[in-house]
Amino acid sequence: MLLVALLFGAAASSPVSGHGSQEELDDVEREKAIMAAQLEGAAEEVQEAGQILAEAEALLPEAERAVAEAEGRVAAAEAIATEAAQRAEAAREALEAAEAEFEAAAAAVEAARNNRIAVLTATYRGAELLTIDAILASEDTSQALDRLTYLEFMIEGKNRTVEEITLHRRVAANAEGAASLAEAEAADARTAADEALIAAQERYREAEVARETVTQLVVDRTDALAVAEAAEAEAQAEYEALETESERLADALRAINDARAAEGADEAETAGAVADSGEAASSSSSPGSSSGFVQPVSGWKSSDFGWRRHPIYGTDRFHGGTDFAAGEGSTVYAAQSGTVVSAGWNGGYGMLTCISHGDGLDTCYAHQSSIWVSDGQRVERGEGIGAVGSTGASTGPHLHFEVRENGERVDPLGYLPSCLCR
């Protein structure tokens, strides 16, 4: 649908500093105002659906981007959690190895200690002394030498036993230290893995919330389209009725201007009107030349003059003026000096004021909430003539401003200041 492309592009290109920022909210309101202008003349339920649709389309790109970012955070958190779990497993294996090494070292210490005890016990019982006596009592020199060699071996073995137990104790102490360090590292790794898992779960919950937001926006958009498309025939009828009212208004303005010319209005008033609107009249042949007009309301342009494609139905429709988004009750100003020729209710235009500036040039101000002037009243450029509203075929507070040459609608931008500012 054209609307989807239109609003998606507008929303995606607008800068977004963060969720819920004032700039983002302003962008949404602007998109809604544009949609309101494009649905002008639609039935009430279509207008409401259009507003929902505009808001959903404006928010959808940011919501989809949030989903993508959340999913990226989930993937990163899961990777960190996996790595932490692997480190925890490696630390656990290292701890098991260190504990096994410590147990082996402790067993070696125990064996060496038992061996030393046996030696000491034998010594205590006098076995070595008996052996030494036997060696010394030997009369055979060769046998005595053999026995002395055995004695030296026995003493060496005893010393070796002492060194062995000392070594095993040192190894056991080192293994105990390594086991303690591995246990601490394993505990840290388990803590890191648990924290990473919690973070990954939190990121996953964020992603789920973001997905739910997108899903709801899509549902809102689908429902709004269904409502609007169901009322297409009615909306077309409303548009045709508004065009018929525009033709009736053109005929009425031509008749009024012809009558005023025929009656020969007061010469001074006519001269003043011509002087006030002389530049404006010449601008019809040279759009964009200075006309002396002022912008009729403080607001921003929400819709242009000319043909445009309906955002839902895809049909071409003519918009005969320029719309300005402005707050309810904002002052509407006369764009140029002249005489009020119509002030009151006018069908789809709602509360309408039209001012004649002479030489067949008129300006009209539609959808006002109140009118402050009356037929035949002289007004000056920049004078307040009413208040912004949403009467008639309107979807929200705004001013529909028309410029007519001999009853026919022309582009108001050819008369308004180029800055579109007051």
Q: Which domains does the chain have, with CATH numbers?
A: 1-230 (no CATH), 233-414 (2.70.70.10)
- SS3 of 345, please? strand
For the entire predicted model, the pTM comes to: 0.48
Please check the confidence at residue 58 and state whether its pLDDT lies above 80: no
Q: How confident is the model at residue 346 (pLDDT cuts 50, 70, 90)?
A: very high
Closest CA to 257 of 337, 156, 338, 193: 338
Closest CA to 296 of 376, 385, 377, 419: 385
C-alpha span between 133 and 147 (Å, rounded): 10
Tokens of 158: 């005893």
Which residue type, as a one-letter code, is found at position 378?
Answer: R
Share of the chain above pLDDT 90, in %: 24
Residue 325's pLDDT is 92
Higher pLDDT: 76 or 113? It is 76
Q: Helix 44-125 crosses helix 2-13 at what angle (to 10 degrees)?
A: 50
How do strand 338-345 and strand 351-356 relate by DSSP bridges? antiparallel
pLDDT digits (tens, 9 = 90+) for 4-34: 333 333 333 333 334 456 676 666 666 666 6
Please check the confidence at residue 151 and state whether its pLDDT lies above 60: no
CA angle 264, 267, 268 (to 5 degrees): 150
C-alpha span between 252 and 346 (Å, rounded): 12
* End-to-end Cα spacing for the chain: 36
Give the start-end residues of each E strand in 266-376.
Answer: 300-303, 306-309, 316-319, 322-325, 331-333, 338-345, 351-356, 361-371
Of 34-43, 204-213, 239-248, 290-299, which range is least confident? 34-43
Cβ atoms 221, 60 nearer than 8 A: yes
Helix, strand, coil percentages in the chain from 3-state DSSP, rounded to 5: 65, 15, 20
Higher pLDDT: 56 or 334? It is 334
pLDDT digits (tens, 9 = 90+) for 302-312: 889 999 876 66
Higher pLDDT: 404 or 109? It is 404
Instruction: Report, as an integer, the average pLDDT of 191-199.
Output: 80
C-alpha span between 396 and 35 (Å, rounded): 10
